[in-house]
Structure 1
Amino acid sequence: MEPNATTNENLFEKAENYTRTSLELVKLRTVSASADVLSTITSKIAVGAVVAFFTLFLNIGISLWIGKELGEYYYGFFILALFYLIVAVVLHKFQHSLIKTPIGNMVITSILKETKTDLQTEKN
């Protein structure tokens, strides 16, 4: 009975080690995928901030130019405000197809890409 008990204990220890290792691997994959998604979003936010400043100053210049052409500077600001109101309404109407779906797909693709790479590495 002794050799059988020892074999069962070794088998139990190996199963326990495998479970711990698998759990640790899942944790590391989750952290890796989260870090990838977070870094992607952070870089897009940084680029977005620079583009926002560029757009702000461009809009001020366009508003002043339109206002100068129309005779009163505030006319240019009203015209651009109306333009952005129309853009906001269109974005609100199509927010799922223009914003939510592409961002969701980007996050899912990033996570699945990471998982697929890990699975291919495991097989090799």
Structure 2
Amino acid sequence: METNATTNENLNMYEKAENYTKTSLELIKLKTVSATADVLSTLTSRIAVGAVVAFFTLFLNIGLSLWIGKELGEYYYGFFALAVFYLLVAVILHKTQHKLIKTPIGNMIVSSILKESKN
């Protein structure tokens, strides 16, 4: 009689452990999906804003180039002047890319993922 009771208790504990494991795995899956969705939605919205800013910048640069070129006497001088300006910006960004670009983006992604795991 005692053997049946022990066997039933072991089976019951085994079922509870199995249910707990399945529930824990499901919770991990859901948290991972939630964190991934948050990161992707943030990235998508930033890309959309970036595209609009890129078009604005493109047309602004064309206008500035034409205006500077008109002031300098030849339109292509304005394009050369802005090209030199962007070359300087590129050199500065290259020298400070870890501080200005890589570290903040990495921190944003990590904090977004960790924010989900805390909830």
> Which residue among 99, 102, 107 is the counterpart of 1:100?
102
Could you say what the CA RMSD is over the residues aligned between the two structures, in angstroms? 0.5
> Which residue among 84, 87, 93 is the counterpart of 2:86?
84
Q: 1: CA distance between counterparts of 2:116 and 2:27? A: 13
Q: 2: CA distance between counterparts of 1:95 and 1:42? A: 22
**Post-superposition shift, 1:115?**
1.1
User: How do 1:4-83 and structure 2 match up within 5 A?
Assistant: 4-83=6-85
**Structure 2: 5+ residue stretches without partners:** none
2:90 aligned counterpart, secondary structure: helix
Percent sequence identity is 76
**Post-superposition shift, 1:29?**
0.5
- Provide the TM-score with structure 2 as the length reference: 0.97
**Structure 1: 5+ residue stretches without partners:** 118-124
- Per-residue displacement from partner, 1:31-69 (whole Å, max 9, x unpaired)? 110110010011000000000000000000000000000
- Provide the TM-score with structure 1 as the length reference: 0.93
Q: 2: CA distance between counterparts of 1:27 and 1:6? A: 31
Corresponding letter in the other structure for 1:96: H
Q: Which runs of 4+ in 1 moved over 2 A?
A: none
Q: 2: CA distance between counterparts of 1:92 and 1:42? A: 25
